Structure 1
Amino acid sequence: MISVRQVLTALGFAFTAYLAGRGLYWTGPVQYPLVMMATLGLYLLTAWLCLFWYRRPTEADAGPGDGIPSPERLPAWACVMALAAALLAPTTIALAVGPNARTAPYATWAIGGIGVLMVIVMVRRRPWVAWAGIVIMGVESMIWMGAIPALALGLVGSIVWVAGTQVMIVLLDRAALDTAHLATLQRAASAWQASQTVRQRERRLQVQRALVVAGPVLTRTVASGGELDEADRIEARIAEGRLRDELRGPRLLDDDVRAQLDAVRRRGTAVTVLDEGGLEGLDEKSLALIRSRLADTLRTASSDRLYIRTSPHERIAVTVVGRSGAGSGLSEEDAVDLWAEIPHAVDDDR
């Protein structure tokens, strides 16, 4: 598929070749044909290097704040060649054709040729070089031809080409920045929508899980008119604990941990599970090891109250604190009968 760059490059090649061809179509005497040919060769070499020279972009090529990759920008050595062509072409051609033919078409091609070259330089992100080349070429053309003939024979057109190209480049850059901004907003909107979809799915799963856990208890409560026996009260208390666990610490739970939490609550222990962060970057294997260690800790716990919290600490993943002796006159410090810390890197051979 033909790209826009390929089309513009082909147009630039055609224009430069056409203008150089005008310089070869001599309809009058040329005093120094070799100088004329050398000037044409220098012009074509410079124009085509500026037109075709690109290098492969790298990761460090993003422009600082303007979004323009530096491979598009003309290298400094090519800028020097372009300015040299603008400086030499009007003078060498005027000397080569002689004073009587300086306004002939095969002598005035340099005005349009340097204009096209500076358009290429402008497109390659060197505006100051392009305008410097136009000024140099314009001054020399006026010196050799006179101000009015130079303006009438193409200088005005070259100035208009370069100015129009600069306006087009500015507009294209603004359009590119607007497009990039819109793309960023679209990505942000898509990410927000995806996060909302995930949250809705999680809420649906939590509601379904709540119905599974609390549904039978609620059904029996309604059927009995609120008159529950001791076994039903225990089931209601366990169901409430399950719901709290699912809401407050879902990343700590698997089937084994849920079973142990139920067993602990059936023994009369009050359990609080809180996910306070610290598990976000762990993979599923690490989470499974942490849950397994937590289930082992719960299996041997005999405290009256258990507090299970995740930890943002860089080494500790979960802390389990058990307290007993409430109402026995013991101090708060003495009431702690279980303290277990589960690290992030759990040893499989624990």
Structure 2
Amino acid sequence: MRGSVRSILTGLAALFALFLALRGLVWVGGAVDQPIAYLLMTVLYLGTVGLCLLVTSGALPEAGPDADEDVGEMLTTAQHGPARLPQWVLGIALAMALSMPNVIALSVAPASRTAPFGTWYVGAIGLLMTIVMVRRRPWTAWIGVLLLALSTMLWIGVLPALSLGLIGSAVWVLAAQLLVMGMDRAARDTSRLAQLQRTASAWRAAQRGRQRERRVQVQRALAVAGPILSRAIERSGELSEQERVEARIAEGQLRDELRGGRLLDDGVRAELDAARRRGATVIVLDEGGLDDLDEAQLGAIRALVAGAVHDAHSDRLFIRASTHPQIAVTVVGRSARGGALSDEDTVDLWREIARP
């Protein structure tokens, strides 16, 4: 569909250029003193229009300081729109804008310079510069309009030039520039909207994944804590000392599953359980620092965490997944000073597990 629209627009521009050229060949109401030069310039003009319409070897815009604008241009450039004209075609177009008004004016009789066949170059160069503008060379297009205006005013005067199509040619070029700017803005907005939609979709997918993971963690924790909780409810809290220990361990396991899911595997759970059974208080906290790691990397980190807990003899253990760019997990152990836990406990373990 895009290719067919481009072909239709290219065909319309070519037909319009051919119409202007044929209109210039109708020598009615005046004389042409140099018909060969006149005809040669007409053929060269049609060839220049063909180059501007068909040559597609221009380079795409490169990313620069105005990255957003470059992205907008690229979205409507080349395969998605008109490509930039190469420099050599621009030189030919400017040479045509400079030479054609002068050659046509010299080719016709002085009395015929305001006749339709003597001023057809005004619309012709306007069309050529409009094509140049659409092909993303705005400075070249406006320089061509300026050259056309100076040459036309020089040969037929300011007011006749303005009344015989110079204003219309400038309006065509301006309309083409506004159209291209509108296309780029719309493409840029569409790109940003698509990016926002992709980001929102990724966020929703991540949230669904976390919700599923959280449900699995809760189910696993309830499977462990469910029996002791049921006994506590049945006996109205009247539990034996062993059952109280099991209840505290079950509570810790439940907290681990809810607050440190990505830090846990069977090996880590076993070591945490062993630490609690020997009387240590264990706190596990995952603040999201491991979300960007794959399973192999997580497995290596979990093995190191399990080893650190196994070797620890602290009264309190704090295991935290770090958001530091180099540290994945921090394991801190504190022991009671003087036999009682306080805020001034001695730090007897500090281990930082590096991010893979």
Distance 1:238 1:343 in 2: 29
Counterpart of 1:44 in structure 2 is 46
Instruction: Give the match for residue 290 of structure 2.
Output: 279
Equivalenced residue count is: 345
| Displacement after TM superposition at 1:240 (Å) | 0.9
Residue identity in the other structure for 1:21? L
CA contact (8 A) 2:57 2:86 kept: no
Cα offset, 1:339, TM superposition: 5.3
Residue aligned with 1:272, SS: strand
Deviations 1:198-246 (Å, cap 9, x if unpaired)? Answer: 4433443343334323322221111112211223212211111112212
User: 1:41-85, CA deviations, whole angstroms, 9 ceiling, x for partnerless residues?
Assistant: 332233222223333655835782433238744445444432321
Please list, as runs of the form range in 1=range in 2, the aligned pairs for 1:43-62 lying within 5 A after superposition. Answer: 43-55=45-57, 60-61=62-63
Q: TM-score, normalised by structure 2?
A: 0.79
Unaligned runs of 5+ in 1: 346-350
Distance in 2 (CA, whole Å) between partners of 1:193 and 1:330 is 44
Paired with 1:294 and 1:129, the residues of 2 have a C-alpha distance of 66
1:68 aligns with 2:79: no
2:9 is aligned with 1:8: yes
Q: How does 1:15-164 map to 2 (within 5 A)?
A: 15-24=16-25, 30-55=32-57, 60-61=62-63, 64=66, 65-66=68-69, 67-69=72-74, 72-145=83-156, 150-151=161-162, 153-164=164-175
Contact conserved, 1:112 with 1:158, CA < 8 A, in 2? yes
Residue number in structure 2 paired with 1:295: 306
Range 83-92 or range 292-301, more displaced: 292-301
Instruction: State the alpha-carbon separation in 1 of the partners of residues 16 and 97 from structure 2.
Output: 17
Displacement of 1:329: 8.8
Letter of the aligned partner of 2:266 in structure 1? Answer: D
2:319 maps to 308
What amino acid does structure 2 have at the position aligned with 1:133?
Answer: G
CA distance in 2, matches of 1:182, 1:305: 50
Counterpart CA distance in 2 for 1:60 and 1:248 is 47
Under a length normalisation based on structure 1, what TM-score does the superposition of the two structures give?
Answer: 0.80
SS in 2 for 1:125: coil
- Residue 25 of structure 1 deviates from its aligned partner by 5.0
Question: Which of residues 243, 259, 264 in structure 2 aligns to 1:253?
Answer: 264
Matched letter for residue 51 of structure 2: L
2:280 is aligned with 1:269: yes
Please report how far the alpha carbon of residue 126 of structure 1 lies from its aligned counterpart in structure 2 after TM superposition. 3.5
Instruction: Give the letter aligned to residue 234 of structure 1.
Output: V
Whichever residue aligns with residue 68 of structure 1, its letter is: E
CA RMSD of aligned residues (A): 3.6
Q: Cα offset for 1:330? A: 12
Conservation of the 8 A alpha-carbon contact between 1:62 and 1:68: no
Within 2, Cα distance between the matches of 1:207 and 1:230?
Answer: 26
Aligned in 2, Cα 1:242/1:44: closer, same or farther, shift over 3 Å?
Answer: same
SS in structure 1 of the partner of residue 62 of structure 2:
helix
1:224 aligns with 2:235: yes
Deviation at 1:89, TM superposition (A): 1.0
Residue 92 of structure 1 and its aligned partner are, at CA, apart by 0.6
Q: Who is 2:194 aligned against?
A: 183
SS of the residue aligned with 2:136?
coil
* Mapped contact 2:94–2:140 kept (Cα < 8 A): yes
Q: Which amino acid aligns with 1:18?
A: F
Paired with 1:22 and 1:206, the residues of 2 have a C-alpha distance of 82
- Displacement after TM superposition at 1:154 (Å): 3.5
> Structure 1 segments of 4 or more deviating over 6 A?
329-334
SS in 2 for 1:54: coil
Instruction: Tell me the amino acid that sits aligned with residue 193 of structure 1.
Output: R
Matched residues, percent identical? 55
Find the aligned partners of 1:58 and 1:170 in 2 and give their Cα distance: 16
- Is this contact kept in 2: 1:264–1:298, CA < 8 A? yes
Q: Distance in 2 between matches of 1:192 and 1:286?
A: 23
Matches within 5 A, 1:166-245: 166-245=177-256
CA positional deviation for 1:253:
0.6
Find the aligned partners of 1:336 and 1:86 in 2 and give their Cα distance: 84
CA 1:125 to 1:288, structure 2 compared with 1: closer, same or farther past 3 Å? same
Contact kept in structure 1, 2:57 and 2:85, CA below 8 Å: no
Alpha-carbon deviation of 1:107?
3.3
Comparing 311-320 and 104-113, the one that deviates more: 311-320
Distance (whole Å) between structure 1 residues aligned to residue 268 and residue 238 of structure 2: 31
Distance 1:174 1:106, change over 3 A: same
| 1:126-176, Cα deviation, whole Å (9 max, x unpaired) | 444433433432443344345565455433432332333334334334433
